[in-house]
Amino acid sequence: MTRSSAPGKVYLFGEHAVVYGEPAVPCAIERRARVRVDQRSDGRLRVHAEDLTLDGFTVEYGRRDDGPDVNVSESLVAAAMGYVDGAIEQVRAVTGEPDVGFDVTIESDIPLGAGLGSSAAVVVAAIDAATRELGVTLETAELADRAFRTEYEVQEGQASRADTFCVTAGGAVRVEGEACRRLEAPDLPLVIGFDGGAGETGQLVAGVRALREEYGFAADTVEAIGDVVREGESALADGDLEELGRLMNFNHGLLSALGVSARSLDDMVWAARDAGAYGAKLTGAGGGGCIVALDPTEATETALKYTPGCEETFRAALADEGVKRLE
């Protein structure tokens, strides 16, 4: 039996634009997915999931079966199992054990589809735990790469390395194309607001792609996000929270222009700004989910609690450690 955990993440800057080779700066946060893996001798895969913003369920099936026999909708199983299946296929490939089976138990306090990196955290923790169960320990770079390959396939080529590298390495990171590295970052007073919903990542990414292909100014907007990221790196290195906040506000406006915000997200962003936050923006694919604000006081948390459409608000500590090997 082996256990691993991986953190969630928020984007300070750069979501969507990172898909087109622009840089992005995500930060790992201390909300985690925990995965326990036990090897099986019969080649079957049994997955028990809890706390994934879905009712808990258990699935068991073999590689040649028609599919899992469970009493939940097929679409729900597909959404929950796609990343796990992909992760286990990476484990089988890297260990040279094509027929190995596992019992996999997932617990997470990262809401699904909310822009906090739930899928990346599950994939990274699952690959790490399952490879170690077979006596193989992957280095950070390969673990992040294997996790990226999983997300890339499940998301039909629309994933970037940002999420998986961030939750593997921890801390604040910079990702541009295939170049990934950690950044020095101060303690950031991160406040998260969650509307209880989830955007459709594939549809939102496809929508930006269509705009970018149709309008030159939409392509310019994507490039402008990259410029914001580069300015944000300097502010992060200087520990200049006021400048970070201004640039986060700018980034949110550009994302909104690309059509990936939502009324609930805009309402939370403005509530945070009106409360005195240095800045606030959506995080992740958008369309619903979470915003992230910078505020060392309690004012933003209080304001979000009274904002219609905000179902949860919490302060998020920077996770300096990425994947953790628990057992």
pLDDT more than 90, % of the chain: 72
Q: What is the DSSP letter of 15?
A: T
pTM: 0.87
Given a cut of 90, is residue 327 above it in pLDDT? no
CA distance 283 to 26: 9
| Burial letters 152-168, b for 16+ CB under 10 A, else e | bbbbeebbbbbbbbbbb
171, two tokens: 């801390």
pLDDT of residue 152: 86
List the one residue out of 184, 212, 195, 202 whose CA is nearest residue 311. Answer: 195
* Angle between helix 140-154 and helix 118-133 axes, rounded to 10 deg: 120
At 70-94, the pLDDT tens digits run 444 455 456 557 888 899 999 999 9
Q: Who has greater pLDDT, 75 or 95? A: 95
Considering only the top CATH level, what class is 190-316?
alpha beta
Indicate the pairing of strand 324-325 with strand 2-13: antiparallel
The end-to-end CA distance of the chain, in Å, is 8
Distance CA 251, CA 146 (A): 30
Contact 315, 165 (CB under 8 A): no
User: Measuring CA to CA, which residue among 126, 133, 135, 164 is closest to residue 148?
Assistant: 164
Q: Does domain 2-183 match CATH 3.90.76.10?
A: no
Spatial contact of 46 and 68, defined as CB atoms under 8 Å apart: no
Tell me which residues are annotated as active site.
Answer: 163
DSSP string over 59-124: EEE-TTSS----SS-HHHHHHHHHHHHHHHHHHHHHHT-TT-EEEEEEEE-S-TTSSS-HHHHHHH
The string of pLDDT tens digits covering residues 245-273 is 999 999 999 999 999 999 999 999 999 99
Q: Domain segments of the chain: what residues?
A: 2-183, 190-316
pLDDT of residue 71: 43
Q: How far apart (Å, rounded) are the C-alpha atoms in residues 74 and 200?
A: 17
